[in-house]
Amino acid sequence: MAENETTEAPKKNRKLNKAINDETGIITIEAIGGAKGPVEFDFNKVNEKVQRKLGLAGLSHKLGDAASAVRGVEAEAAISRVWEGLLKGEWTTRGPATPKVALSEIAGNMAKLPKDQQKKAREALAALGIDLAA
């Protein structure tokens, strides 16, 4: 495999092997258990109108993937982070680890507590470095 080729991370019950060569624009796909073996597809041979649609579909997918594990404000932040990275020429961007419980859920549940308990809970969360106002 060439230095600039990428493949998807191994997945359970994988059906395809795929490699993308950024330099040549060639995508190689092999159906696992298929008879043909690897088949190459040259992106450069696709007409410009279809290339644009493929690019837009890919961008939509990339931005949507950024928000796949979160909702609301967290989703907006994840999408913005990926977009800003793309504008800088970065394909991969890293954000803060996704919490097991969304901050919006914690804030919603905290609102159900009596006022004195809300204050204590906010102080405890702040001591852990969690700011619900962020």
Q: What is the pLDDT of residues 10-30, one digit of tens each?
A: 556 789 999 999 999 999 999
| Rounded Cα–Cα distance for residues 27 and 98 (Å) | 32
Q: How many other C-beta atoms can be found within 10 angstroms of the C-beta atom of residue 104?
A: 14
Whether residue 66 is found in the same domain as residue 53: yes
- Write down the pTM of the prediction: 0.56
Supply the mean pLDDT for the chain. 87
Report the percentage of the chain scoring pLDDT > 70: 86
Whether residue 56 is found in the same domain as residue 38: no
Q: What is the pLDDT of residues 72-117, one digit of tens each?
A: 998 999 999 999 999 999 999 876 665 567 778 888 888 899 999 9
AA letter at 12: K
SS3 77: helix
Please choose, from the candidates 124, 77, 127, the residue with its C-alpha nearest in 3D space to the C-alpha of residue 98. Answer: 77
Q: What angle in degrees, to the nearest 10, is found between the helix axes of 103-110 and 115-127?
A: 150
Q: In the predicted model, what is the mean pLDDT of residues 27-38?
A: 94
Whether residue 81 is found in the same domain as residue 108: no
- In this predicted structure, what is the pLDDT of residue 1? 46
Looking at the DSSP assignment, which residues form a beta bridge with residue 30? 17
Confidence of residue 133 (pLDDT cuts 50, 70, 90): confident
Q: Look up the domain containing 68 and give its range.
A: 47-98
Confidence of residue 6 (pLDDT cuts 50, 70, 90): low
CB 40 within 8 A of CB 27: yes
What is the gyration radius of the CA atoms in the chain, in angstroms? 22
Q: Which residue has the tokens 């040259």?
A: 42
Domain count, the chain: 3
What are phi and psi for residue 10, nearest 5 degrees? -55, 135
- In this predicted structure, what is the pLDDT of residue 5? 56
Whether residue 66 is found in the same domain as residue 93: yes
